[in-house]
Amino acid sequence: METKKVPAIEVRHLTVSYGARPALLDVSVAIEQDQLVGVIGPNGSGKSTFIKAILGFVKPDVGEILIGGEDVQKAKGQVAYVPQRGAVDWDFPITVQEVALMGRYQRTPWYRNVSPEDREAAMEALGMVRMTDFANRQIGQLSGGQQQRVFLARALAQGADILLLDEPFAGVDAATERAILEVLERAKSAGKTLVVVHHDLTTAAEYFDNLILLKQRLYAYGPPSAVLHEELLSQVYEGRLRVFANLMAKEGAR
């Protein structure tokens, strides 16, 4: 139908450094719309930096990032962000509903109050992640999976087409992981592009349409069958690959 679709996120020759060490080196990748993309790589491979660069939160040394064809610094607010659970102060005096409402702040000018429509949109987003019943709870009183869902609701309430999630599956049980994944897939079918930092290689193939394999450099970008290659993984994960030997065997058997 459409001849040329603008990629949701286009990263060109991105280099970000902390001192002499590059956190990311010459990463170029174009992420198409309506995709569930996983970002994988060992610890310290620049996954979080990659996410923060797309948010416009870290300044690249070289390279540019285009969000829907527009420079990232001009595209503020078009990318929604779900932080790592460890990065949130769960004792903060704030309720579930207020967190969701934060997603609407960028649409509200400073001299005006949050409108009833915004409140409705926030509640709707909470409904999408099935958290309406908890609207008046303080966020520290929720289980790990519920907390994750509240922040998903905030991202949905933002109305952004691109969602970035930093390790949403870290430290939740299998049932919760399923529930979160379900929400992600629903968001995808609603036309969102989701980029998810993920640490579990055993589930990566099953969850994502495409995978980005990072370790400072971009090692691969493509469908899981192409990325989860023994040769590539052994390059990136070096000696720690034995753990995945099993997985490789399973992949081969399919």
Partner 1 sequence: MSFLMQAFWAPLTETYFQKALIGGCAVALVSGVVGCLVVLRRMAFLGDALSHAMIAGVAGGYLAMKLLFGIEAHAPSMLLGSLLAAVLTVALIGLVSRVSRIKEDTAIGIMYTGVFALGVVVVSIFRQYIHIDLMHFIMGDILGVADSDLWASVLVCATVLSVLVLFFRHFQLATFDPVMAASTGLPVLLLDYALTSCVSLVVVSAVSMVGVILVVGLLITPAATAYLLSDRLDRMMGLAAVFGVTSVIGGLYLCVWLDSAGGGAVMLFCTLQFLVVLVVAPRYGLLARWLRMRRLVPQQVVEDVLITVLRQQRDTALPVLHQYVQVKQPGDLHKALRQMEQDGLISVSAQGYRLTEAGDKEARQVLRAHRLWESYLASIGTPREALHPTAHRLEHIRGDGTVDYLDEKLGQPKLDPHGQKIPPRQKNNNHHENEP
Binding site for partner 1 (CB under 8 A): 52, 55-57, 76-77, 79-81, 83, 87-89, 92-95, 98, 102, 105-106, 108, 110-111, 114, 138, 141-143, 145-146, 154, 158, 173, 175
| Minimum distance, C-beta of residue 55 to partner 1, in the bound complex (Å) | 4
Burial 50-59 (b: 16+ CB within 10 A, else e): bbbbbbbebe
Rounded to an integer, what distance in angstroms lies between the CA atom of residue 84 and that of residue 76?
Answer: 20
Closer Cβ to partner 1, 111 or 252, answer by number: 111
| Minimum distance, C-beta of residue 206 to partner 1, in the bound complex (Å) | 21
| Minimum distance, C-beta of residue 105 to partner 1, in the bound complex (Å) | 5
Closer Cβ to partner 1, 58 or 213, answer by number: 58
Contact residues for 156 (Cβ-Cβ < 8 A; gap 6+): 80, 103, 125, 128, 129, 163, 187
CB 13 within 8 A of CB 61: no
Closer Cβ to partner 1, 84 or 235, answer by number: 84
Rounded to an integer, what distance in angstroms lies between the CA atom of residue 244 and that of residue 213?
Answer: 15
| Minimum distance, C-beta of residue 128 to partner 1, in the bound complex (Å) | 18
